[in-house]
Structure 1
Amino acid sequence: MRNPITTTWLAAILALGLFSSMPALAASSAITMVKNTGCVCCERWAAAMQKTGFDVTTQEQPDITAIKDKLGVPQALRSCHTATAGGYIFEGHVPPDLVAKVLKTHPKIAGLAVPGMPLKAPGMDAAGVTTPYQVIAFTKDGQTSVYAQR
């Protein structure tokens, strides 16, 4: 038989722990995506991110080159949209689980990129495509390395 007072205190402690961590969870799941006006695959990437628990704010502009320049996205890694979260840059169709991993582990990189628009990447949704693609990590000084192969 459990002691009701102990059970009540335990429940209260657990609830306080949960509620005190909620703002951190909300902050880490907030992403801002800037995309070219009318780009449908960007909207599908945002939907894939939202489906996995991210809160995506979308900004549309006729040309996002200046934003990529300002953030320091290497020219060779550029894609159709640029997202930021937790001080990191996510260029193109980066898979949601890798965004979450970066936000959780805080690697010493500027961000991740999926150059171009690979048909297998989240948001591109090409049925039956099995061609692998790479997710590239990049630093502020332009160094790159393969972060993941998908």
Structure 2
Amino acid sequence: MKAQFFIRAAVAALLAGPVMAHAAGPVIDVYKSAFCGCCGDWVKHLEKNGFTVRTHNVANPSDYREKHGIPNDLGSCHTGVVDGYAVEGHVPASDIKRLLAEKPKAKGLTAPGMPMGSPGMDGPRKDPYDVLLVDGNGRTRVFSHHN
């Protein structure tokens, strides 16, 4: 009788594992410099918004931007990769969640440069900025606007 209980409990635990892993939120790999404070602040923003973040300190984060098809003129200081999409720069978690829900045919999102007031770029002012969707040919369109 005890053996059946333990077997059932073990099977239930194994079946619950994938569900519990999924409940932790989307996993995003972030490629950044070890010396960049704003990148670390963006990672904290993602974690506060339900993402599981795997941080990779790399010598040249722009290599990952290029590898994932984001043009250099749309670059920033770090690149994230989630579910096959690139996320370049200080893109808000809400935009990433929308991207994952809508699943457009695209390379990913970018918040070019380092807009003041974007997640991780907190400071004395908040500048308006656009988050751009980058298609397979490197063309962009405004995905969201932030004031």
Same fold (TM over 0.5): yes
Q: 1:141 aligns with which of 128, 137, 140?
A: 137
Q: Which residue in 2 is equivalent to 1:131? A: 127
Given that 1:89 and 1:110 are in contact with CA atoms closer than 8 Å, whether structure 2 keeps it comes out as: yes
Given that 1:50 and 1:56 are in contact with CA atoms closer than 8 Å, whether structure 2 keeps it comes out as: yes
Q: Which residue in 2 is equivalent to 1:97? A: 94
Given that 1:89 and 1:112 are in contact with CA atoms closer than 8 Å, whether structure 2 keeps it comes out as: yes
Q: Which residue in 1 is equivalent to 2:31? A: 34
Gaps of 5+ in 1: 1-18
Given that 1:35 and 1:42 are in contact with CA atoms closer than 8 Å, whether structure 2 keeps it comes out as: yes
Q: TM-score, normalised by structure 1?
A: 0.80
List aligned pairs for 1:58-73, cutoff 5 A: 58-73=55-70
Structure 1 runs, 4 residues or longer, greater than 4 Å off: none
Q: State the distance in 1 between where 2:18 and 2:56 align.
A: 28
Q: Deviations over 1:28-59 (max 9, x none)?
A: 61000000221110000000000011000100
Q: State the distance in 2 between where 1:85 and 1:72 align.
A: 14
Identity of aligned residues (%): 37
Q: Deviations over 1:43-101 (max 9, x none)?
A: 00000000011000100112122222221111111000000001111000000001011
Q: TM-score, normalised by structure 2?
A: 0.82
Aligned-CA RMSD value: 1.9
